[in-house]
Structure 1
Amino acid sequence: EKDALYAKADFSDEDGIKAANLEAEFAEMDGWNAEADASQLLQSLEIPEELHQQLMSELTEGQKVKVLLARALFGEPDILLLDEPTNGLDVYSIEWLENFLADYPKITIIVSHDRHFLNQTCTMMCDVDFGEIRMYVGNYDFWLQSSQLAAKMRADSNAKKEDKIKELQAFVARFSANASKSKQATSRKKQLDKISLDDIKPSSRKYPFIKFEENRPLGNDLLRVDNLSKSIDGVKILDNVTFTLRPGDKTALVSRNDLATTTLMQILAGVLEPDSGEIKWGQTVEMSSLMKDFASEFNNNDLRIIDWLRQFAEKGSDDDAFLRGFLGRMLFSGDDVNKEVKVLSGGEKVRCVLSKMMLQKGNTLLLDDPTNHLDLESITALNEALVGFPGSIIFTSHDHEFIQTIANHIIEVSNNGIIDKADTTYDEFINHPDVQKKLSDMYD
């Protein structure tokens, strides 16, 4: 509107007053700094300056997600509504967003399956369960402890009331016809009438039962990778990657570039061939895997869930009764087992692959971003199962809590090499001064 006014050939006094008002409004909105602020937001989300004038259609899917997030954050709106804002973000962008929202001076309403993210950003939890909404002042961990305690107290209270009811009913039944005890029986009957059990509705939250076992333990060797390199479409993804994993290692592969970790996982799983280098697995390794691109296992597949899973069951464990019980524990109940696998949701497909892995009983698990598509209950169940797994794990994830509680070996992967630290937690890794310096050199 300003530009249109200034472009007028017959610029009047009235136009001048209007232009002055627009200039004041523009300045009040901090318009002169808008472009610089937008650029800063984009760069904070690792969208380099040379891409800022590109068309959205020319960006990758991951970059598009970051641009849309930056658009939502831009201008400091009074209310931020963020539905799964960490989806599509790498661990470093998530950390930046956590810090941004922790300092945000206005209202934010967030839906997320990332427990660490909720702990870092939220001061109040809205619990939608039992057919109602309850508010808790505090972060995710506080809500979890408080809601579990409240549920236990309600259950314990009902249990005590049920015991009292049985006691009073027994007294009334025994002495109501006894003249000497009739007054006491009448008194007990009145007490009984006053006791009412709390109406405890069933929770809408369902946790799958996930437990990984191994056919046999690993021997002395797990994995040796020597000078592994890979380029895709002429772009270097992995460059002379070398590392050794030991039996018992639970290794998280992390990166600012998902393509690097996924490419490495595909090579380790035998899905992709490296351009050069060598991979040597231990002789006792029995591998089970969940790759990020698992859709090929289900697309155009007319098999029912129960028949799809039957392919991976040992003889004696392939009858309908066993498989129905097994799938029931993975939240496929009743007629759900007769669904065709090609029509399943992303979360249902992941639960199918996890079911297959449990049947295979490998001693080495490969999981590429396994929490993708899962709800919070399934993530929690998978997290606990991997913590308790006696074998070795190689996995990728953007979920800070998931990595922190499972991994004892961290490898940062980029096209400029790796940072390899064994016997460490994720928090220790990212806060280590040497690692921070190497990360700066690696990505600058």
Structure 2
Amino acid sequence: MGLIQAQRGTRDILPGEIAYWQQVEATARAILHQAAFEEIRTPIFEQTDLFERGIGEATDVVGKEMYTFQDKGDRSLTLRPEGTAGVVRAFIEHGLHAQGGVQRLWYMGPMFRYERPGTGRQRQFHQLGVELLGSGNVRADAEVIAIAVDLLQAVGLNDLQLELNSLGTRDDRIQYRSLLVDYLTPYKADLDPDSQDRLTRNPLRILDSKDAKTQAILQEAPLLGHSLSVASQERFAKVQQLLTNLGIGYTLNPKLVRGLDYYSHTAFEFQSKQFGTVGGGGRYDGLIAELGGPETLAIGWAIGLERLIGLLQQLAPSQPTAIDFYIVSRGEAAEAQALKLAQTLRHAGFVTELDLSSSAFGKQFKRADRSGAAACFILGDAEAANQTVQLKWLATGEQQAIAQADLPALADTLHEQIARSRNDRSTTTV
């Protein structure tokens, strides 16, 4: 029987990498809590119609990339390819709009798209996103961008490029679409195959083509910004001024259109040299009404965690879990007491590893050294009989006997000694 492996486009997140994920998750929770955003968790699969209507049937996501299946009730279901549509569905279904005011929601979890796997791109990937529902104020646009900048900088990514554009209103885009199609039609045969298909279905997506020949053709194409109404231009100028007031730098990208049909007005992306787009978002004022809810203005963003964490791994090497105490024991009574000791230390806030091998003391001591623990507790027959334990500091070799009953009262002292021991070991290493 062949070896069963993870499916193409999926990957295991192993212990050596998980610290990066925990750092990002903890930082996100803290920053979003400070900004008064509340977490929402929606199902991993939804009715297919939600994404067809919400994202747009002419998009690549719906047309090529969704994992869609019929369930046993002959219902068409889809693994979520993005987070916004599900959040909006929940917003409508549970009447969150009836609570009045602005809803500030955030989510985090796996998404699914049938794409060609590559660096920072998986078929099962993870997104962190926010949705600010119920405000069309330009300050909302600047606020959600500022929160994303805070998060990225807090985890150590200070060199990402913020790209900004305005997609205007639906009427603005209809006018621009006509101009763009008129310009590109004579070049149809020279466009890449995807762009030829998009010319009739979703021509604005051609602006995002990665094909060099198509991009060369687009050099002289009309710009969306020239089709914006005066009101749309003024609105976009206010967003830019607010970002400038906050000290947030940005680059205008007139070809930035994003990949989903529901966007309008402000659109933005965070770009890295290594992975391309790390995250992005924009305003989607018509989506909630399109999905059957009341007219509600909204804006949000999502960050791809695989790409973000890939950048963090380049900045700093992974560090193993810092173990405070490693417990070595041998003999039936000693091993029973060692298990109780491990729990006592854990309850006192110490990271504790219990050697379960019952092997010779010499082998257990070697594992204690390799573990990187600050100190080792040793229990043998004599310690078990006397209800004591030997405490050995691995950096200095210093050893002392302690009554097991006295350990809880010594917790604060032991925490201080661990800190000093780690400093000693770090100095010795250097």
- TM-score in terms of structure 2 length: 0.23
- TM-score in terms of structure 1 length: 0.23
